[in-house]
A and B are shown apart, each in its own frame.
Chain A
Amino acid sequence: MDTNSVYESTPNTAVRIQPVAGARRPSVWETLTSEKFFKWTLLFPLLLLLLIFMLYPMFYCIYYAFHEWGMQGDAIFIGLNNYRQMLHDNSFMEALGRTFEVLVICIVAEISIGLGLATLWNREFKGQNIVRGLALLPLLVAPLVLSLLWNFMLEYDFGALNQILSALGLGKVYWWSPHFALFTICIITIWQWLPFSIFVLLAGIRSLPRDVFEAAKVDGASAWYTFRRLTLPMLSPLIMIIVVLRTMWLIRLFDPLYGTTRGGVGTELLDWIVYRTAFVYFDIGYGSAMAIFSLFLTIALCAIMFRLLMKSLGVIK
């Protein structure tokens, strides 16, 4: 047996048999898959990708946020003026306010209705798998397609919903009127994402320890009391997960706007105004500043919520 094959058949454990002096050095492949370097070898493609796709756009945006540039000529350094302009920009502040409005309405509605339906379906019943499968259907459908569909269904004259409503004697609704349009966008979003909350919470309810609830029953606790004092606190980590994830997604709501109002009738949200500034008006500097702002807003919101989550899990005080 020559030294080479001894080297290769040796298990890669701490007590490796070193090749004797004078034997050839390990090949590049052997070095890369050696115990010491293997984990970094595996990570290399990802690191490369992160470097190109994450750091580059971020620094690019940060750089142009300090400049005024309209895609032609030289960028002019203007310091913090873009951010200052943002503070005095009414349409930006309104968009920001609306975004928070949408966040609150959607998350509160999704969690409360979700909790209700999760409690409803938390039992064994015939056809539960079919009910579950059907209820999950909208989750993976493209949000854009669904918004186009809802836009059509909520049309004043020809929309199916208004026709049904007026047939029931309830009268038609101006779904896309300036007062109501933002709320309509919320309804569409809630409709698509409700199943998500339902089944996350249902998974949580199913995994709760049974004996605590039996003890509560024996002690004569009412259903409401049990729900408020036992179920809800024990579900709070899951509720936090829903809040964090939904915040992340809702803060960049774009597709439902494109399919319906296209930012009109008082529905312009954060992502839309950034899009409009950068890609319609080609105000790259100002658009970058807004993008950076929305990036840090997301990170800050998520950091706060992660802290809350950790608290509720008892990891930190």
Chain B
Amino acid sequence: MVKKILFWVLTIIVLAVVIGPLLWIYLTAFKAADDIFTTELRKLIVFAPTLDNFRRLFTDYPYWFNLGNTAIVSVISTVVVMIVSLPAAYSFARWNTSGGHLLFVTISTRMFPGVVAALPFFLIFRTFGLLDTHVGLILLYVYFNTSFATFLLYGFFREVPAELEQAAMIDGYGRMDVFRKIVFPLILPGLAVTTVFCLIWSWNEFFYAFLFTRLSARTANVLISSFWGSIEVQYGPMAAGAGIAILPTLLAAWLMQRYIIRGLTFGAVKG
């Protein structure tokens, strides 16, 4: 009994530490500035809720426009990544193409510090006028998501037994048909998980977005970060913006519980 109580006390403390800060975003989003900048302890939780922060965010700042940029860039880059990675992962998994060397090269791009790519691309984008455009940002996101997606899909493809494909081919299916009718349906859950991960990585990305966009392709994260400036600090609109921007990621984390660990470890651990 004592053990059980101890267990729950510990569990609840841990959960409070984990969830508390996330709830804080939403509490702050509904506070007036006077309730945010106060030292009155009571006002941490007891305050008159207001929608003022949201109203200011939507009218004074191009929040929806920037969130739209985030969405456009995330979705298109993910589609491109899938078109590139899906066949490549299949090739690696089924034929062990190039004996693992190319797969290793692919993964090693994931180890690259972001700045290594940022410098050359910044200069070449400047030449081609791709700075502050959707196309530029999409290219960068394709770059950093492809290796991840290829490797994760590789793991899922490996789980499709080769015998199944051989059987289909003996029945007269061509390679394309085997892929379309046999392998693809089996890989769908893995494909869905990989897609969501790529969407989230692009959605969350800040470094490239911050360096490569100013106005017309600025993403929501960059706008949110600008509220913590050296001139003025506006925690209210910041919390409101953050609260909306993180909703999809929270939802994904909740729905993909079973796959998060697998995705984050590149498939090494099946959580």
Known pairs A125-B7, A252-B114; A136 contacts B37 (CB<8 A): no
Query: Could you say which residues of chain B place their CB within 8 Å of the CB of A284?
Result: 119, 123
Decide: A241 and B200 in contact? CB cutoff 8 A: no
Decide: B207 and A35 in contact? CB cutoff 8 A: no
Interface membership of B193, Cβ < 8 A: no
The secondary-structure label for the interface of chain B is: helix
Among B52-60, B84-92, B184-192, the one that faces the other chain is: B84-92
Most buried by A among B91, B116, B139, B176: B116
Interface band, chain A: 35 or more
Interface membership of A144, Cβ < 8 A: yes
Q: Contact partner of A134 among B18, B122, B238, CB < 8 A?
A: B18
Decide: A248 and B102 in contact? CB cutoff 8 A: no
Chain A, Cβ-Cβ closest to B178? A12
Decide: A157 and B224 in contact? CB cutoff 8 A: no
Chain A, Cβ-Cβ closest to B18? A135
Decide: B269 and A295 in contact? CB cutoff 8 A: no
Interface membership of A299, Cβ < 8 A: yes
Query: Could you list 28 examples of A-B contacts with CB < 8 Å?
Result: A33-B176, A35-B175, A41-B87, A45-B83, A45-B84, A45-B87, A49-B142, A54-B105, A133-B257, A135-B18, A137-B19, A137-B253, A139-B264, A140-B200, A140-B260, A141-B246, A142-B245, A145-B25, A145-B245, A149-B25, A153-B21, A160-B44, A191-B21, A204-B269, A255-B207, A271-B114, A287-B119, A302-B111
Decide: B269 and A287 in contact? CB cutoff 8 A: no
If A12-B174, A241-B265 are given as contacts, then 5 extra A-B residue pairs at C-beta distance below 8 Å, sorted by A number, are A45-B84, A56-B120, A152-B235, A164-B41, A271-B114
Min Cβ gap A231→B in Å is 16
Decide: B142 and A120 in contact? CB cutoff 8 A: no
Interface set of A (CB-CB < 8 Å, partner B) = 8-13, 33-35, 38-43, 45-47, 49-50, 53-54, 56-58, 60-61, 64, 71, 117, 120-121, 125, 129, 131-146, 148-153, 157-158, 160, 163-164, 167, 191, 194-196, 199-200, 202-204, 238, 241, 245, 248, 251-252, 254-255, 258-259, 270-271, 274-275, 278-279, 284, 287-288, 290-292, 294-295, 298-299, 302
Bound-complex Cα distance A61 to B143 (A): 17
Query: Could you say which residues of chain B place their CB within 8 Å of the CB of A145?
Result: 25, 221, 224, 242, 245-246
Interface set of B (CB-CB < 8 Å, partner A) = 7, 10-11, 14-15, 17-19, 21-22, 24-25, 28, 36-39, 41, 44, 83-85, 87-88, 90-92, 94-95, 97, 102, 105-106, 108-123, 139, 142-143, 146, 150, 169-176, 200, 203-204, 206-207, 210-211, 221, 224-225, 227-228, 235, 238-239, 242, 245-246, 249-250, 252-254, 257, 260-261, 264-266, 268-271
Bound-complex Cα distance A275 to B122 (A): 12
Bound-complex Cα distance A52 to B114 (A): 16
Chain A, Cβ-Cβ closest to B86? A42
Query: Could you say which residues of chain B place their CB within 8 Å of the CB of A135?
Result: 14-15, 18
Decide: B257 and A57 in contact? CB cutoff 8 A: no
Chain A, Cβ-Cβ closest to B264? A196
Decide: A144 and B225 in contact? CB cutoff 8 A: yes
Min Cβ gap A69→B in Å is 10
Q: Contact partner of A291 among B119, B203, B250, CB < 8 A?
A: B119
Min Cβ gap A155→B in Å is 9
Decide: A294 and B97 in contact? CB cutoff 8 A: no
Decide: B265 and A200 in contact? CB cutoff 8 A: yes
Min Cβ gap B208→A in Å is 10
Query: Could you say which residues of chain B place their CB within 8 Å of the CB of A53?
Result: 109, 117, 139, 142-143, 146
Decide: B112 and A295 in contact? CB cutoff 8 A: yes
Min Cβ gap A312→B in Å is 14
Known pairs A56-B120, A141-B204, A142-B206; A33 contacts B90 (CB<8 A): no
Query: Could you say which residues of chain B place their CB within 8 Å of the CB of A141?
Result: 22, 204, 246, 249-250, 253
Known pairs A57-B120, A136-B260, A196-B264; A144 contacts B108 (CB<8 A): no
Min Cβ gap B203→A in Å is 7
Decide: B41 and A163 in contact? CB cutoff 8 A: yes
Query: Could you say which residues of chain A place their CB within 8 Å of the CB of B10?
Result: 120
Q: Contact partner of B21 among A40, A146, A196, CB < 8 A?
A: A146
Min Cβ gap B183→A in Å is 12
Bound-complex Cα distance A142 to B200 (A): 9
Chain B, Cβ-Cβ closest to A275? B115
Min Cβ gap A273→B in Å is 10
Decide: A274 and B113 in contact? CB cutoff 8 A: yes
Query: Could you say which residues of chain B place their CB within 8 Å of the CB of A153?
Result: 21, 24
